[in-house]
């Protein structure tokens, strides 16, 4: 039986955001239409030589078997794979690092899979764990 879906969603493993990311995907009309990959540090995996092949392999399989058109990369605030928020002097610095790595991951993905569109998102949360996902749009 042939089965296809539109997207691959790459998130961090962080359990704190599973539900919020699923809710967001539902709001976006993506539910039941995406392959889900969770790797600690999400986008960071494309940039580390140790994990790059693992991340690319998931895209290759998803593309070949399910014909995905879009890759959604979700970075998140306080990511342990980056040392958490405490590793940065400010939220602006932290956010800039995620944005930079998302950009690098997008370039690598497009280099290998020119047919795939890439959407880059950063998840933030407040003290009450109210979560927000914002897409980084091209200027
Ligand atoms: Zn994380």
Residue 139 pLDDT greater than 80, yes or no? no
Return d(Cα 133, Cα 21) in angstroms, integer: 8
Report the domain count for the chain. Answer: 1
Question: 3-class DSSP state for residue 134?
Answer: strand
132 assigned to some structural domain: yes
Return d(Cα 88, Cα 32) in angstroms, integer: 36
Distance 3 CA to ligand 1 centre (A): 30
Distance 82 CA to ligand 1 centre (A): 8
Say if pTM beats, i.e. exceeds, 0.85: yes
1 assigned to some structural domain: no
Distance 4 CA to ligand 1 centre (A): 28
**CATH number of the CATH domain containing 24:** 3.40.1050.10
Return d(Cα 8, Cα 25) in angstroms, integer: 11
pLDDT digits (tens, 9 = 90+) for 28-45: 999 889 999 999 999 999
The residue segments making up the domain with residue 21 are 7-136
């Amino acid at each position: 039986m042939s089965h296809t879906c539109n997207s691959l969603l790459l998130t961090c493993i962080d359990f704190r955001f599973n539900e919020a990311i699923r809710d967001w995907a539902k709001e976006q009309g993506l539910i039941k239409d995406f392959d889900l990959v969770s790797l600690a540090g999400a986008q960071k995996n494309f940039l580390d030589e140790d994990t790059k092949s693992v991340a690319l392999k998931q895209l290759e399989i998803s593309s070949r078997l399910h014909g995905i058109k879009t890759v959604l990369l979700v970075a998140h605030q306080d990511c342990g794979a980056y040392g958490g928020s405490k590793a940065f002097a400010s939220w602006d610095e932290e956010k800039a690092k995620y944005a930079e790595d998302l950009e690098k991951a997008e370039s690598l993905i497009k280099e290998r899979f020119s047919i795939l569109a890439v959407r880059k998102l950063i998840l933030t949360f407040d003290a009450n764990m109210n979560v927000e996902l914002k897409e980084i749009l091209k200027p």
